[in-house]
Amino acid sequence: MGKKDSKSKSKKDSQLVLRLDKSERDAFVDLCKEMDTSAAREIRGFIRQFMKKNEGSVD
């Protein structure tokens, strides 16, 4: 029961839509698969790293 509750609390509730060339998208997704990760996980990681690096830069 506790496990199910923690999952619902961490559920993502927002989306970010972006446009890029199909060939870039496909190459990125393929590379992620080869590295046993997902495109979404890597993009979320990039966003978190970018925000941490730049925290305090925006007032």
List, for residues 1-58, the tens digit of each pLDDT value: 555 555 556 788 999 999 999 999 999 999 999 999 999 999 999 999 999 999 988 7
Whether the Cβ atoms of residue 40 and residue 48 lie closer than 8 Å to each other: no
pLDDT attached to residue 7? 55
What are the residue boundaries of the structural domains of the chain, listed by start?
20-59
Neighbours of 33 (CB within 10 A): 11
